[in-house]
């Protein structure tokens, strides 16, 4: 009996070696013109995951381990889908596996503002255009590459979806159209930006936060008019060439090429953990730039900006009009308890911010006054008036209906300070003079009722 079993094993081994020896790959990373894919429940390479997400892979690059794929993706009720690039776990024959642990990580999507339904189609036309249509035939998204000699579609090892011509040159690539994520090898070029999703559960481009590169450095901003910068890595120097500035996600760093370009050394680097498995970074709906890595499950391994900013420098850490003190949130208050002008939006969730008890009314500007917050500061400061005093700063805000607060900073001479008049206020924080080396007060514009006295000033200890 033993010899028969042994013979059977030998036969199976020979068959497997013949199958593997023909050199045929198991992945499917490319597609030809005139190809159509349908977001159908019976589509090939469909996988349901235990977190409620679902993928229907169209292209997949590589075998065994975390690999890039693209196709239709949904999460939750799955009544709407994105055409996306995602990282999934694969086995040695490029099957998507680990549905209870290797949840798909979306790193790019074409239609985040316009999800499609079941039976939507993606077509690589004979003319070289990649077109996404909803189930009713409505065109939702297109690369607009018709007539540009496109020869095919390729998903690269780096997770870049590329339309290429007969000479293998790039005609269109997803790397030129970043969403909220960034993968190793990718560049964020001047003129592009990462834009956060509206929330953890809403992938639309309605988020407050963005990150971008220009000829001065790398910046992160919160949406306002004008945008308010909450992080900046400024590179001093003179540009050595006419090439666009960019940041590149490399192994162990986010490298800034502002004045120089490869193969020269970067002008500045933000150090990251070395890559030991698949990684990606994502700009979250809270303004944090987080690095994720696969390690028997997806884990956050680094909060990239927090080492520079701390907890309280994020614009929405305590919501609009909220005060952050040692990571705790509160609302601005007056010394006179009967003269409150702000209240928590949700008493059980103080991080959601504070609303005005009486909204500001430009038609009743004679009843505008200030709630003084002594030794308080703001995450950004863009002086509207320089070399001025506190009273002039306050008067400038009173004379401008769009001004929501007068923020006054000075060194040793309060008669020679700078004044910032933001039209929108996010989270405030205590001014730690031993770190900032300046004095700062915030004057919140408030609506008082006729015959009411002016609000008394308050100090940081009132919010500790």
pLDDT in tens, 79-136: 999 999 999 999 999 999 999 999 999 999 999 999 999 999 999 999 999 999 999 9
Query: What is the pLDDT confidence band of residue 453, given thresholds at 50, 70 and 90?
Result: low
Question: Residue 178 is encoded by which pair of tokens?
Answer: 């970043």
Superfamily name and number for 30-175: Bulb-type lectin domain (2.90.10.10)
* CATH fold label, 181-309: Agglutinin, subunit A (2.90.10)
CB 143 within 8 A of CB 163: yes
CB 105 within 8 A of CB 298: yes
Cα separation of 386 and 313, whole Å?
23
Buried b (16+ CB within 10 A) or exposed e, 182-208: bbbebbbbbebbbbbbeeeeebeeebb
> pTM for the full model?
0.90
Give residue 293's pLDDT. Answer: 98
Least confident of 1-5, 215-219, 420-424: 1-5
Give residue 206's pLDDT. Answer: 84
pLDDT in tens, 200-235: 889 998 889 999 999 999 999 999 999 999 999 999
Length of the chain measured in residues: 464
Give residue 335's pLDDT. Answer: 77
Helix or strand (DSSP H, E) at 191: none
Domain residue spans in the chain?
Answer: 30-175, 181-309, 323-463
Query: What is the pLDDT confidence band of residue 239, given thresholds at 50, 70 and 90?
Result: confident
């Amino acid at each position: 009996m033993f010899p028969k079993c042994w013979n059977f094993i030998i036969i199976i081994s020979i068959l497997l070696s013949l199958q593997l020896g023909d050199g045929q790959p198991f992945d499917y990373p490319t597609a030809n013109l005139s190809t159509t894919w349908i977001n159908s429940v019976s589509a090939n390479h469909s996988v349901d995951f235990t977190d409620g997400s679902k993928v229907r892979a169209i292209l997949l690059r590589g075998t065994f381990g975390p690999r890039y794929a693209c196709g239709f993706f949904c999460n939750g009720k799955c009544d709407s889908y994105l055409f996306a690039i995602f990282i999934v776990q694969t086995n040695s024959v490029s099957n998507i596996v680990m549905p209870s642990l290797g949840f798909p990580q979306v790193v790019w999507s074409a239609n985040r503002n316009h999800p499609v339904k079941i039976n939507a189609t993606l077509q690589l036309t004979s003319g070289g255009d990649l077109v996404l249509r909803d189930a009713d035939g409505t065109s939702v998204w297109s690369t607009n590459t018709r007539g540009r000699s496109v020869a095919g579609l390729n998903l690269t090892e780096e997770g870049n979806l590329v339309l290429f011509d007969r000479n293998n040159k790039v005609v269109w690539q997803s790397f030129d159209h970043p969403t909220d994520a960034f993968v190793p090898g990718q560049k964020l070029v001047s003129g592009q930006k990462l834009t956060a999703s509206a929330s953890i559960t809403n992938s639309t481009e309605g988020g407050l936060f963005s990150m971008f590169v220009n000829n001065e450095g790398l910046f992160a901003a919160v949406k306002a008019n004008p945008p308010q910068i909450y992080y900046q890595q400024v590179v001093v120097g003179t540009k050595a060439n006419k090439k666009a500035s960019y940041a590149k996600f490399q192994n162990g760093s986010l490298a800034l090429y502002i004045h120089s370009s490869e193969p020269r050394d970067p002008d500045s680097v933000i150090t990251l953990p070395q890559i030991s498995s698949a990684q990606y970074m994502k700009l979250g709906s809270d303004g944090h730039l987080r690095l994720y890595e696969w390690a028997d499950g997806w884990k956050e391994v680094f909060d990239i900006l927090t080492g520079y900013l701390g907890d309280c420098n994020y614009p929405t850490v305590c919501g609009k009009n909220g005060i952050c003190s040692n990571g705790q949130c509160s609302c601005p208050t007056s010394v006179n308890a009967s003269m409150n002008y702000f209240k928590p939006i949700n008493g059980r969730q103080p991080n959601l911010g504070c609303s005005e008890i009486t909204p500001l009314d430009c038609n009743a500007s004679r009843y505008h006054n200030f709630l003084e917050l002594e030794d308080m500061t703001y995450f950004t400061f863009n002086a509207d008036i320089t070399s001025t005093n506190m009273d002039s700063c306050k008067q400038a805000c009173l004379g401008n209906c769009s001004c929501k607060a007068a923020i006054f900073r000075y060194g040793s001479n309060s008669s020679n300070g700078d004044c910032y008049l933001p039209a929108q206020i996010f989270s405030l924080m205590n001014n730690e003079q031993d770190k900032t080396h300046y004095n700062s007060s915030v004057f919140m514009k408030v609506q008082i009722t006729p015959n009411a006295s002016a609000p008394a000033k308050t100090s940081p200890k009132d919010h500790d």
